[in-house]
Amino acid sequence: MVTKPELDHIFNPKSVAIAGVSSKETTLPSQGQRFLQTLLDYGFKGKIYPLNPKGGEILGLKMYPNVKDVPEPVDYVISCIPALAAPQLIKDCAAKGVKVVHLFTSGFSEAGTEEGKQLENELCSLARQSGMRILGPNSAGIYCPKAGLTTRTDFAKESGSVALIAQSGGNYTYTVREGARRGVMFSKAVSYGNAADINETELLEYLAADPDTRVILAYIEGVKNGKLFVQVLREAAKIKPVVVLKGGITESGARAAASHTGVLAGSERVWDNLLRQAGAIRVFSLEELIDMAVTFSYMPLPRGRKTSILGVGGGATVLATDDCTGAGLIVPRLSERIRERIGRLLKEESGTILGNPMDLSLEAWDAGFYQVLSILAEYDAVDLTMVHIPLGLAPYQSSVQHKLWDFLLEEVVKAHRELAKPVILVLHLPSFGEDYEWILNAQRICYEAGIAVYHSIGNAARAVDRFLSYHERKLAGIRG
């Protein structure tokens, strides 16, 4: 069994101090100024204390020369000061009784120098003496919407049930932001950088036991204690889905990872075995990482892999079938009876492929697309339906076309609400700026209605396959 590490406090600070807030006005705000502005704009509910050796004032807040000068308790310190000044800050924080220091600053073990490594070790041993924790170095920070804690103003205010741990700050930012655009809301997200103290294993252990978290996403470049990591990962994966994107799987990629976060990345074969045996869900891109969060957040569990594919465009539909089959789904032939029933709903003139896949011309869609889905929902040989809209193949001009697709979207939403079988939507191949805007809006409508949306047929099919495999493994485990 997993015992929950005591990390609640790092996600729920009552007060935050920011070290290294310059008072200068520059074209681009300094990193310290940005953290300060972000917490203010996002609406952090606790106290905020900017620190600057010269004191003064910024954005209506008093600046303290040292954390020890702050008259009230400080839970959480964000450090944007140069690496060499960090040991003194850590000593001051320990003296003040700070609970966690988030080191945004880089220039430690990832620099590849002996000095960098020693400096990082020094910080850790200084912190350890007082029981204070360190996040980073080289960490973008923590996002916990419930506590009003964030590293970006444009992160969602709304809490959700997906957690993210990411060794890269950029990948953390992308995943949280793009996730929100696809309806994935987060309980907590952490950019953990060099993992000098708080590392992926402890975070995983914590999140496995976290009642606010139902799904865990992880971007990992390397781990220091492989044996312990596997053990914790295995336990975590028994409790909730753990989706892992491993960066640095090739030799050059591993060298890049070493320069990025100072880790030993390990070989592809080792990681592939490790993740599979631990029961994690492995993905190969940031999009796939988010796809899995979308799937676990929105997709009802289909009974199996038998998929009916409906879309616009004969050629697109042929390629969609290849992509689905290639990713492990089954695209079964429809019975003559079903084909006839569907055929009766369509106008005579429409030149459509009426089997599975089905290419319904636009004129046919509005003749009764919901009815097509309802016939398929009754049909035992189909477990789920994938509807795809290849935007760049549109025969009409955007203004006309988007109205037709709005209607199609309504029919899909209706089918999702009223029918018992899963429907997923793929919005792909945008070509115009308006197409992209339409996609952003359509996916919002869909996730609000509870429908999983993807951006390529292959990605959607792989997500469904991984989702089913996860549940098959769970079932086998229970039965075994």
Site for a copy of itself in 223-262 (CB under 8 A): 245, 247-253, 255-257, 259-261
Minimum Å gap between C-beta 215 and a copy of itself is: 20
Q: Which CB atom, from 72 or from 349, has the smaller least distance to a copy of itself? A: 349
Minimum Å gap between C-beta 458 and a copy of itself is: 8
CA–CA distance, 154 with 44 (Å, rounded to integer) = 13
Minimum Å gap between C-beta 248 and a copy of itself is: 5
Query: According to the binding rule CB under 8 A, does residue 194 interact with a copy of itself?
Result: no
Q: Please give the residues from 274 up to 303 whose contact with a copy of itself meets the rule CB under 8 A.
A: 285-286
Cβ(381)–Cβ(387) below 8 Å: no
Q: Which CB atom, from 66 or from 105, has the smaller least distance to a copy of itself? A: 105
Q: Which CB atom, from 21 or from 208, has the smaller least distance to a copy of itself? A: 21
CA–centroid distance for 23 within its chain: 35
Token duo for residue 222: 């390397």
Task: Give the strand pairing for 100-103 and 76-79.
Answer: parallel
Minimum Å gap between C-beta 264 and a copy of itself is: 13
CB burial class (10 A; 0-12, 13-18, 19+) of residue 227? exposed
Q: Quick one: which H or E segment has residue 405?
A: helix 398-418
Task: Out of 13, 50, 116, 430, point to the residue binding a copy of itself (CB under 8 A).
Answer: 430
Query: According to the binding rule CB under 8 A, does residue 324 interact with a copy of itself?
Result: yes
Q: Which CB atom, from 168 or from 385, has the smaller least distance to a copy of itself? A: 168
Q: Please give the residues from 162 up to 181 whose contact with a copy of itself meets the rule CB under 8 A.
A: 166-174, 177-178, 181
Radius of gyration of the chain (CA): 25
Q: Please give the residues from 107 up to 126 whose contact with a copy of itself meets the rule CB under 8 A.
A: 107, 110
Alpha carbons within 13 angstroms on the beta-carbon side of residue 124 total: 17
Q: Which CB atom, from 128 or from 396, has the smaller least distance to a copy of itself? A: 396
Token duo for residue 302: 């289909």
Minimum Å gap between C-beta 230 and a copy of itself is: 21
Task: Give the strand pairing for 57-58 and 61-62.
Answer: antiparallel
Other beta carbons within 10 angstroms of residue 82's beta carbon come to: 10
CB burial class (10 A; 0-12, 13-18, 19+) of residue 22? middle
CA–CA distance, 476 with 474 (Å, rounded to integer) = 5
Q: Which CB atom, from 94 or from 404, has the smaller least distance to a copy of itself? A: 404
Q: Which CB atom, from 70 or from 290, has the smaller least distance to a copy of itself? A: 290
Minimum Å gap between C-beta 328 and a copy of itself is: 11
Q: Which CB atom, from 322 or from 448, has the smaller least distance to a copy of itself? A: 322
Minimum Å gap between C-beta 42 and a copy of itself is: 13
Minimum Å gap between C-beta 460 and a copy of itself is: 14
Handedness of CA 469, 474, 479, 480 (dihedral sign): positive
Number of residues forming the site for a copy of itself (CB under 8 A): 79
Q: Which CB atom, from 257 or from 468, has the smaller least distance to a copy of itself? A: 257
CA–CA distance, 109 with 114 (Å, rounded to integer) = 8
The residue assigned the tokens 């290294």 is 20
Task: Out of 118, 400, 469, 471, point to the residue binding a copy of itself (CB under 8 A).
Answer: 400
Whether the bond between 241 and the residue before it is cis, its omega within 30 degrees of 0, is no
Other beta carbons within 10 angstroms of residue 273's beta carbon come to: 12
Query: According to the binding rule CB under 8 A, does residue 138 interact with a copy of itself?
Result: yes
Query: According to the binding rule CB under 8 A, does residue 465 interact with a copy of itself?
Result: no
Cβ(182)–Cβ(290) below 8 Å: yes
Nearest Cα neighbor of 261 from 155, 90, 135 is 135
3-state secondary structure of 16: strand
Query: According to the binding rule CB under 8 A, does residue 105 interact with a copy of itself?
Result: yes
Q: Please give the residues from 20 up to 49 whose contact with a copy of itself meets the rule CB under 8 A.
A: 28
Task: Out of 43, 73, 82, 300, point to the residue binding a copy of itself (CB under 8 A).
Answer: 82
Cβ(374)–Cβ(338) below 8 Å: no
Q: Which CB atom, from 431 or from 469, has the smaller least distance to a copy of itself? A: 431
Token duo for residue 134: 């360190």
Task: Out of 58, 319, 345, 381, point to the residue binding a copy of itself (CB under 8 A).
Answer: 319
Minimum Å gap between C-beta 418 and a copy of itself is: 27
Q: Which residues are CB-contacts of 32 (< 8 A; sequence separation ≥ 6)?
A: 18, 19, 20, 21, 22, 50, 78, 80
Minimum Å gap between C-beta 480 and a copy of itself is: 32
Task: Out of 11, 219, 369, 454, point to the residue binding a copy of itself (CB under 8 A).
Answer: 219
Cβ(139)–Cβ(191) below 8 Å: yes
Task: Out of 55, 87, 300, 392, point to the residue binding a copy of itself (CB under 8 A).
Answer: 392
